[in-house]
Every structure is written in C-alpha cells, then in structure tokens.
Amino acid sequence: MRKGNQADTEMLKGTLDMMVLRTLATGDAHGHTIAKVIERTSEDVLEVEQGSLYPALHRLEDRGWVSSYWGPSENNRKAKFYRLTTAGRKQLGRETTRWRQMARAIGLVMGENVQTDGRVE
Amino acid sequence: MNWLRIFRREQADLDVQQEIETFLAEETAENLARGMSPEESRRLARIKFGNPQQIRENLWRQNSLTALDSLWRDLRFAARTLRRTPGFALIAVLVMTFGIGASIAAFTIVRSVLLNPLPFPNPERLVRLYETNHTAETGGTFSEWRTQNQSFSDMGIGGSKSHSLSGSGNELPEDVVGGMFSRSVLHTLGVQPVLGRNFAEDEDRPSANPTVLLSWGLWQRRFGGSPSIVNQTIRLDAKLYTIVGVMPAWFAYPDSTVQLWTPIYYEVRPSVIRAIGNHQFWVIGRLKPGVAEAHAVAELTQISRRIYDQHRDIAFVANSASASPLLESIVGDVKTPLYILLGATACVLFIACLNVANLLVARSAARRKEHSIRMALGGGRLQLLRQHLMESFLLSSAGGGLGLVLANGAIEWVIRARQDMARVEAIRMDGYAAAAAVGLVALCALITGLVSSFNVRGVTLLATPQQSSRANSSGRASVRLRAGLLSLEVGLTMVLLIAAGLLLKSYSKLRSANIGCVTENVLQMVIRLPATRYPKGQVESFFETFLSRVRSLPGIHGAGFIKGGVPADGYGPDDGFVVMGQPELPPDQRLFAIHRWVDPGYFAAIGIPIQRGRTFDRNQQFGHATEVIISESFARRYLTGEDPLGKHLSIADDPPRQIVAVVGDTRFAPGESAKPVMYSQLLTDPAGEPHSATLVVRSDSDVTQFGIPIQRLLWQMDREVPASDILTLNQVVGRSILNVSFDAFLLAAFAGMSLLLAAVGLFGVLTYIAVQRTSEMGIRIALGAQKEHLLKLVLVDGLRPALIGLALGLAASAGLTQLIRSMLYQTEPLDPVVIVVVGSVLLLVAIAACLVPAWRASQLDPMRALRA
C-alpha cells in the first residue's frame, strides 16, 4: 500500500496477517525478509509499513499461529526468525478461502470476468 | 487471546528493539550492495523504516489491557499517596482492622452457633419435647409417648450422670461429665459411632452388663486413640464398663462437656425411670417426614392428658406437651447476647468506616488544589472518583487482611473463655468467614470512598484555586458533611456506651447481690466416693472421719458438707412435700421446694444464720432421719402465720419429719429471688448414688491455701477418691454469672473503642477545620478579637456536632435498649445514672478532643496566620 492512499490502507487491514502467514508458508523468515518478500511478490505495489508489521508478528505469535526463535541473519546479525505453526497453517487456509470468496464477490460486483476458483483475470 | 502477555511487555519491547536493529542493518547492507554510500544507505534505511518509537508504542499498547492497566496505575498512585502520609495510613488501617476483625469474629460466632444447622441428618425434623410447665421430663410419660404416637419416627430419652473414672497404672482418677442415652437417642439423632456400635437392646436395661460409649475427645486423651479400644473395659465408679463404641469428633450432645454416655435404663433404677412424676430427664424426637410440629404436639398432649386423668393422685403429672426445635432448645439462651454482640460490632465497624471517611474527607479537602489542577489538565471526574475508591479500597483490604488475623485470635479467645457456651465446639472460621471478609472490605471501601468523595463533586475549575488561596472557609458543604458524620459517630458511640453501661451496672448489681451466705474466704470442693467400694455404712464413716480431720486443720473455722450444690451454684434438685396436718391439696397443686442435704455443721461453716431452733442433732446424723430444717421463705410461703417449729413434713412420700429450725434464705443464682428451701440430713437422699457431696470450709484469711492440705488429707484416706470443682464461693458466684460478665465487658470494650474512635475523629476534623480557618482567625485577631473568643469559636465548632450526636444517641437508645431488657438485672433500660455518667464521659472526651485544636487556634500569631 502506498502511503497516503487511504483506500489501500483500509483494504490491507486484516490482510497483512494473512500475507505474513502466506510468506512464512514457504519457509522461516525474519521481519526484514518478510517485508521484502511481500513487496517483491506484489511487484512493489504493496509496501509493508514497518509500524504495522512488527506488532502484527507479535500478535500472530501471541495467538499461537507462528513461533519464533533467534538466529543469525544473512549478514550474521542476531535476528528473530518466525515459523508457521500447525495452527497457523490452518488459519492460513481459512483466511485464503475467505479472501478468495471476498475477491470473487467484489469482482462480480465490479462486473469483471471471474473464474469459478475466484481468480480475477 | 492470552492476557498474560501483559506481564511480558518488557520482554516484547526488548525483542522488538532488537528486530528493529536487525531490519535497519539488513536494509543498510542491501543499500550498500546497490552501491550507495554508507551514510546514504543508513539514512534511506531509516526513512524506509519510519519511526521506531511509534512501533514500540504500538506494540506496547497492543500488549496492554487498557482497563486493567489504568486500574493498576490507580492502584500504584493510591499506594504512593498513602505512603506519603504513613501516619494517616497506619491509623486508618488499624481502625479498619479493628472494625472488620471484630465483625468477622462476631459473624463467624453467630453463624456457627445460631444459624448453622445441627450436624445431624435432616436436623429440621428434630425437636425437643417438653411436658408443659416443667423443665425436665419423666421416663413414664416418655415411654407412653413413644409407644402411642404416630407422628415421630423415633424418640429418645436422656439425662446426665457424672462418673469417677479410675486411672489405669499411674493415672489419677478423674471426674468425667457423663450423659445417659436410651438406645433410641442415637437413632433419633441419626448418628452412628465411628468405632463400634450403639447400645444393644439388651444392654439398655437394669440387668445388663455395664456398657459405655466414649466421646472422641476422651478416647484420644485417655486412650491415645487406640483403634482396638472397642470391647475393652474401663472402671467407672469402681464398676467395670465395656466400651461398645466411640462417637465422632464433632458429636456433642447435649453439650461439649459430656465425655461418655451410658445406657439410661441400665443406670437409672426402674422405679425412677418408669415414674410419671419424676422430672429429671430430657426427651427428643424426630418428626416423620411431612408431619407438622403442631400436629405432633397435639397428639402428645392427648396422650399426656390421658395419663394425667388416670393418675390424678400423683403429683407433678403434666397434662399437656410442647415442643421446640432442637437447635432452639440448645442455643435459645445465647441468642440475644450473640445478636447484641453482632450489633455492637456492626456499630463499631460503621464508626470505623465513618472515621476513615472523615479522615479521607479532611485530606481530600487539603488536596482540592491538586484536584482542580488535575481536572484543568483534563482529568475526568470519574477518574478522580476511581482514585478515591482505590485509596479506600487499599486501606480496607489491608484492614480486612489484618482483620482476618485478628478475628482468628478473637475467636480462639472466645472459645477458650466461654467453654460453657452452647455449641462452642461448632465455632470455626470457614469459607463463609473469608467471604464475609471480602464482602466487608468491599462494603467499607465503598462507604468510605463514596462518603469521602462527595465533596469532589463540588470542585469546579479555577473556582477552587481562587477560593482556597483567599477565601477562608473552604467549602461549607464539606464542613457540613464532616459535622454530620461526626454527629452520627458520636450518636452510635452513645448507644454503645449506654448499652455497655447498663450491662456493667447490672453485672455489678449481680456481683454484689446477696446470696444468703458468706462468700469471702469460703472454699468448696466436690468429693465423690465410688458407690461399689463404699456401701452405706462406710460412706457415713468416711465423711465423718474426713470432716473431723479437716476441722482440726489450724486456721479452719468451719467445715460442712452439702449435697445438691452450694448457694449460687444452680437450682439443683427439688422435691414435692406435704405439711402434715394441713388440709389435703388437689394433686395438681402439690407443693414443692428446693431440696438440699447437709450435715449439722454446714450452716455455721457457710454462714447461713439459724433464725429459730437449732441445727440437726449430731447424734442421729447418720441414723434414720427424723428432722428437717426449712428456710425463711419456706416458712413464710407454706406455713403462713403458723409456728413452723414442731410441724412435720413428708418429703417425696417419705415418713414425716419434724421441723427443728428456720434458717436464712439463700439464692440458687445471683439475682434470683429467694426460693423456699428445705434441708434434710446428709446421706438421707434415697437417690444418692454415687455418694458425692460438696465440702465447704471457711477460714479467716486466704482460704485457697487450704486446697492442697485438704486434698492431701483426702489422699491419705483413699487415693482413688478425686476432689473436683475446687473453687472459692466467690468463684462459684463468678462462674454462675460468667455470661453476664462476658457480655458486659465485651460490650464495654467495644464502647470504649468507639469512644476512642469518636474522639480521634473529633480531634482530627476539628484540627483540620481550625487549620482551614487559619487566615480567618488571623484577620479576627488583627481586628482585635480576644483569645477566649477564638477559643470559644472553635470549641463550639467541634462541640455542636458532638451535642447533636449525643441527643441522637439518647433518642436511639430509648428504643434500642429495650432489646437488652431481658439481659438486665435490677437496672432499667433508661437508667438515669448510666445515662448521666455516659453522657458526661462522652462530653468530657469531646471537650478534651476539641480543646487542643481550639487552644492552638487561639494562640495564632496574626502575622503568620495572614501570610499562610
């Protein structure tokens, strides 16, 4: 989300947790990597605001969806790595499903050609 | 959501700081790799990251529970505030401790004794049954009731009988209080022995082998709780009894002094337990489910009426029945005193709350500036109120915690001091006491907090800083509030003081009430001879030899024996009698009088004056009795206008005996009116087994020093004969009015405490008011006011609420003291002496409390006062 773009900010609320979980599904990562991955994968459309990322990570950990451990970063710094837990994997599944339904619904309303699996073309 | 995270906030903050650093380092490294200068790399990394402080704050907030957090903050603030004024905090906590502790103790005792159901199954169906107009029942009527009724699932009869328990090996013999139970008593109560069994059918009859049930306490104390005790034997009055069972630890019936039980139909001769005119037992019954008490009583009344009609020739047959719940019959006597006690503690608690509230008001008024500044800075009123409540909550929780400790000690003390009280064994602190403590803490916090924050409402922005800097009488409303609280406090104190004064006066009247004999330097001692080893002739010679040896002790002025109890030691036995030569009375109007058995030297020994005639003829003392002695009121009541000497009495259908003397009246309890007494010669009592009697000795000086020598004399004669109840007559009197003295002194202690509290309250508030008016005083002095005038001004300020309280208390006492009318002896509920004394004490204390602040105010230096 671009700063100053209110609509993007609004939309991303609640989806950040989901995207973090999705990112961790491919492997353990620390905060910086997670932010980078989200930005790159979204082709730099989404810019992760650090002010939300870290509280989000702690929140996810508090709910038991991710666990954490300290390890060396790529540049050999002490970094806190996050790992998806089983509960987190289930949560990711739930949120993905919900997200697809939502995206399809919005797509329908906007008159786009929507395929049955919810993907927007 | 895991709310425990609130305690991990510090760690989470440290973690996130480390994460932020890592992020910046990674980003910087990437920027460097892109070929930027190190400085530029770091700068861009920081820009990209944004404000790290904000992240930390966000996370911190996320990890907090807002409500809990602000509560915690208030709590810490309150604790800090209290720490700043340790003196105030200490006083407030102590006051609360006393109030809450006393209340918890009183609540626990009232609950355990009066409200808790008896520990038997379905206790609401248990009733004590009475033959109307008698305090004890007969075995004859009982068996008719039991066999003919349809309303009760079972009934039991019991009585009391003390034994001398012989020691085995080196143990000393001891007197134990025993109970007699019919086999059906335990079944009626619904209790089983924990060890062994109840009496069998064939053990509850005259020809049975002696059997006994032990109390838990006796089993533990005397037999070390040995599990193989059942079927062993013990020696009671030198007879071998087989132990058939041990009762549960909680079991105490009729009261906790009873240590063993024997079968009643074995112990009591058939002619006594079958009689329908011999009232000396108690009867209990268990109502069948669904049967109303009134219905059951009506049925028993019918049975009694039938017996009465069939036996009009026998005296003392009741013609109807009555009943009361078993619990009521046990605790009925202590009900009023215990509720009074509870009321008194509630008063003290309320005074304690008011006092703390008063102190808080005084302090919060001193903090008005602080409050208005805080409100100007955006502090909500609710927040201020919350802080007030938090402070009083802290104070009362500390008081509640300490109060629990205090209550525990107080209850232990009461249990020790009042072993004679009904159900004293049932008193214990339990969950309810803890719940009561929590409730009281909340209540006190609310009362003190709300009362003291009334004047927070009045704070308006800016008005306060302006007002309190110049204007001198700060907040009329808060002054009035405090004066009102003070009046209430003084009023309650007045009520307590009057009640305590009445009880104390009544106690001193009882204590000095004439019981009809000498009480100074008289010692009594109960001696019991085992019946089996002392047949009739030997008892006589034993007592005679013993008496002559006691009399020969140097310093002893008189010694005598009495059976049935010395004056002030209770009503004891009574008997019906007929005056020979008087017209025959209808059976239901037969005469009866207290009956005692004494030796010829008794009257001289205890100082009962012989008004006419002479004492028993010594020569025929132990032979067949032909003489009887009566008391003055006996002569007045039953032989009006006749010469009693030479008349003959037939007591309990025995052969007539001649009246040889009239002696002075005695009272069976202090404060009782003189009841007719007749005296027979010692050891003519046909029911006198085992042969026990009370030795009475008198000397000129400290009589207690003879206790040991007399016991040694007894020991020389027979090592197995125990002496018990070794008491001076003054102690006997004290024992019989123990409940009165206990109630009086307890209430006096509470009243004294509340007087102190009220004085502290007066002093504190007046000091505060005086300080508030410092600049006003300064102006007055500067304008020429005299010191005496100022003194009077402040005094009146403090005495007005005290006087109003005095009047309030007096008015309330007029109604409330009626409640303790039944506890008073020769004292009217509105005794003028008590009221005047109490009123002046209270007034003097009030003046003393006001004098210091008033004097201080009058000594003000006007210059300093005005600058203050």
Tell me what pLDDT residue B867 has.
67
Pick the residue of B1, B4, B19, B47 with the most A CBs within 10 A to test the interface with A by mutation. B19
CB-CB neighbors (< 8 A) of A13 in chain B: none
| Residues of B with Cβ-Cβ distance to A55 under 8 angstroms | 55, 58-59, 62
pLDDT at B472: 42
Q: Which residue of A59, A73, A80 is in closest CB contact with B15? A: A80
Q: Which of A44, A58, A63, A81 to mutate to test the interface with B (most CBs of B within 10 A)?
A: A58
CATH number for the domain whose boundaries are A6-85: 1.10.10.10
Whether the bond into B690 is cis, omega within 30 of 0: yes
Average confidence (pLDDT) over A70-85: 87
Domain range for B15 is 3-64
Q: What is the distance between the alpha carbons of residues A75 and A68, in angstroms, rounded to a whole number? A: 19
Residues B492 and B465 in one domain: no
Give the closest-approach CA distance of A62 to chain B in angstroms.
7
**Cβ contact, residue pair A55, B22, below 8 Å:** no
CA angle at residue B587 from B582 to B591, to 5 degrees? 55
The tens digit of pLDDT for each residue in A53-65 reads 888 888 888 888 9
How far apart are alpha carbons B567 and B571 in whole angstroms?
Answer: 9
| pTM, full prediction | 0.71
Among candidates B5, B18, B29 on the partner chain, residue whose Cβ is nearest the Cβ of A80: B18
Give the pLDDT confidence score for residue B248 in this predicted structure. Answer: 93
pLDDT in the model for residue B773: 74
Phi first, then psi: what are they for A119, rounded to 5°? -80, 140
In terms of C-beta density within 10 A (0-12 exposed, 13-18 middle, 19 or more buried), how is residue B339 classed? middle
B390 against B166, higher pLDDT: B390
Instruction: Kindly state the average pLDDT of the residues B428-443.
Output: 88
Residues B155 and B253 placed together within one structural domain of the fold? yes
CB contact under 8 A, A55 and B2: no
Residue B478 in domain: no
Q: Which residue of B has its CA nearest to A36?
A: B27
Q: Residue B509 has what DSSP assignment?
A: H
R_g over Cα of chain B: 38
pLDDT reading at B860 higher than 80:
no
pLDDT band at residue B686 using 50, 70 and 90 as cut-offs: low
What are the structure tokens assigned to B365, written together?
């008024």
What value does the CA radius of gyration of chain A take, rounded to a whole number of Å? 16
| pLDDT higher at A82 or B788 | A82
Question: Which of B25, B48, B62 is opposite residue A59, by nearest beta carbon?
Answer: B62
Q: For B123-129, what is the mean pLDDT?
A: 92
- pLDDT value of residue B785: 82
Average pLDDT of B795-800?
82
What whole-number distance in Å separates Cα of residue B66 and Cα of residue B691?
81
Q: Is residue B232 assigned to a domain?
A: yes
Q: How far is CA B9 from CA B21, B68, B352, in A?
A: 18, 14, 41
Measured CB to CB, residues of chain B less than 8 Å from chain A are 1-2, 5, 12, 15-16, 18-23, 25-27, 29, 48-51, 54-55, 58-59, 62-63
Residues of A in contact with B27 (CB under 8 A): 32
Let me know whether B245 and B196 are in one domain: yes
Q: What does the pLDDT read at residue A43?
A: 84
Residue B442 has pLDDT above 80, yes or no: yes
Q: Considering the domain boundaries, does residue B479 fall inside one?
A: no
- Residue B457, domain member (yes or no): yes
Average pLDDT over residues B667-676: 86
Q: Which pLDDT value is given to residue B467?
A: 47
Q: Do residues B93 and B240 share a domain?
A: no
Size of interface A-B (CB pairs under 8 A): 68
Q: How far is CA B270 from CA B199, B260, B267, in A?
A: 18, 22, 9
A121 pLDDT tier (thresholds 50, 70, 90): very low
The arithmetic mean of pLDDT across residues B661-685, rounded, is 87
Same domain (yes/no): B691, B836: no
Mean pLDDT of B775-799: 82
Asked which of B286, B319, B352 is the last residue of a domain, the reply is B319
How much is the ipTM here? 0.77
The answer as to whether B717 is a domain residue is no
- Out of B273, B292, B319, a domain closes at B319
Average pLDDT over residues B545-560: 91
Clarify whether residues B250 and B229 are in a common domain. yes
- The predicted pLDDT at position B475 comes to 56
- How many Å from the N-terminal Cα to the C-terminal Cα in chain B? 56
Contacts of B19 in chain A (CB under 8 A): 30-31, 54, 79-80
In chain A, what are the domain boundaries? 6-85
How would residue B631 be classed by pLDDT, with cut points 50, 70 and 90?
very high
State the pLDDT at residue B311.
Answer: 78
Q: Are residues B749 and B847 in the same domain?
A: yes
Q: Are residues A77 and B5, on separate chains, in Cβ contact within 8 Å?
A: no
- Assess whether pLDDT exceeds 50 at residue B827: yes
Mean pLDDT of B280-290: 91
* Cβ neighbours of residue B758 closer than 8 Å, sequence gap 6 or more: B351, B355, B486, B489, B490, B493, B805, B842, B845, B846
Cα B35 versus chain centre, distance? 91
Eight-state DSSP code of residue B459? -
**Partner residue opposite B23 with nearest CB, options A31, A62, A74:** A31
User: How high does pLDDT run on average in chain B?
Assistant: 83
Same domain, B176 and B258: yes
Beta-carbon separation of B22 and A30 below 8 A: yes
- Clarify whether residues B764 and B818 are in a common domain: yes
Which has more confidence, A115 or B540? B540
Indicate if B638 and B682 belong to the same structural domain. Answer: yes
* B477 part of a folded domain: no
**Weakest mean pLDDT among A12-16, B13-17, B180-184, B711-715:** A12-16
Greatest alpha-carbon pair distance for chain A in Å reads 50
Strands (E), chain A: 29-30, 66-72, 78-84
Same domain, yes or no, for B553 and B505? no
B2-11 residue pLDDT tens: 666 677 778 8
pLDDT of residue A5: 44
Residues 6 or more apart from B352 whose CB is under 8 A from it? B95, B96, B98, B99, B100, B444, B757
The reply to whether B802 falls in a domain is yes
A39 touches B at CB < 8 Å: no
Closest CA to A18 of A70, A67, A66: A66
Going by pLDDT thresholds of 50, 70 and 90, the confidence category of residue A1 is very low
Report the number of distinct structural domains present in chain B: 5
Q: Is residue B769 part of a domain?
A: yes
